[in-house]
């Protein structure tokens, strides 16, 4: 199954993807994580990602398409993938459709997570991330350990990302409304979209998604 988790930045797509990896036996394809890794590497491409992401702007299609193409042909993604954060524009959706068609695949289901802007601001500004392994915490709901050590890898670099500020969140939401929401219409025309309420406990939202994609 090729599954697309859709919704504004901070809607919980990445969090839910991690629950679905074991359930479906397919990997998460997160352009956000891939681009952050590239930024951390200090490469020329990573510096270009940093320029856009720090300003809360969407990264141009030309800088992400090669990353997606490479990832989809790796062994663990040959039977499907969970797309998180891509496609973000109709042009990207069409490009992904073409790529999947060459692989004799298609997007089987789009799950749209519905979350209000105020809820997203509260979620994102409270988010903290381990720089060593990517483990995510939230100062209110899942606070990092008081000793500052990551519960996943033992690292001590738990920080707020520079693009997790309210100003950046609101800019990204505005860009999402203008550029990304039309992607839903693209997939709705294919009859593969299911809307899911994205507010509640992690377990509640996961159960809603499982129902939407028809798995137990």
CA distance 85 to 79: 20
Q: Is 106 a catalytic residue?
A: no
Instruction: Kindly write down the DSSP assignment for every residue of 7-46, as one continuous string.
Output: -STTSSHHHHHHHHHHHHT--EEEHHHHHHHHHHHT-HHH
DSSP 179: I
Q: Which of 39, 88, 123, 208 is catalytic?
A: 88
Q: Which of 36, 39, 123, 172 is catalytic?
A: 172
The contacts of residue 28 (CB under 8 Å, 6+ apart) are: 14, 17, 18, 20, 21, 81, 82, 84
Q: Is 13 a catalytic residue?
A: yes
Q: Which of 36, 39, 123, 127 is catalytic?
A: 127
Q: Is 161 a catalytic residue?
A: yes
Q: Which of 13, 39, 123, 208 is catalytic?
A: 13
Q: Is 172 a catalytic residue?
A: yes
Q: Is 140 a catalytic residue?
A: no
Active-site positions?
A: 13, 88, 127, 161, 172
């Amino acid at each position: 199954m090729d599954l697309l988790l859709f919704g504004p930045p901070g809607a919980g797509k990445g969090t839910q993807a991690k629950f679905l990896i074991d359930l479906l036996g397919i990997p998460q394809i997160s352009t956000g994580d891939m681009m952050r890794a590239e930024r951390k590497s200090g490469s020329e491409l990573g510096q270009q990602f940093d320029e856009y992401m720090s300003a809360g702007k969407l990264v141009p299609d030309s800088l992400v398409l090669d990353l997606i193409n490479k990832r989809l042909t790796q062994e663990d993604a040959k039977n499907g993938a969970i797309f998180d954060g891509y496609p973000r524009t109709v042009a990207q959706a069409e490009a992904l459709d073409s790529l999947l068609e060459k692989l004799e695949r298609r997007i089987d289901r789009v799950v749209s997570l519905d979350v209000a802007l105020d809820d997203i601001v509260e979620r994102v500004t409270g988010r903290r991330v381990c720089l060593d392994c990517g483990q995510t915490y939230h100062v209110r709901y899942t606070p990092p350990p008081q000793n500052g050590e990551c519960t996943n890898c033992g690292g001590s670099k738990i920080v707020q990302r520079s693009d997790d500020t309210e100003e950046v969140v609101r800019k990204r939401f505005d860009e999402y409304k203008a550029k990304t929401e039309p992607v839903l219409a693209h997939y709705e025309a294919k009859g593969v979209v299911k809307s899911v309420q994205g507010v509640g406990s992690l377990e509640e939202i996961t159960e809603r998604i499982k129902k939407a994609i028809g798995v137990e």
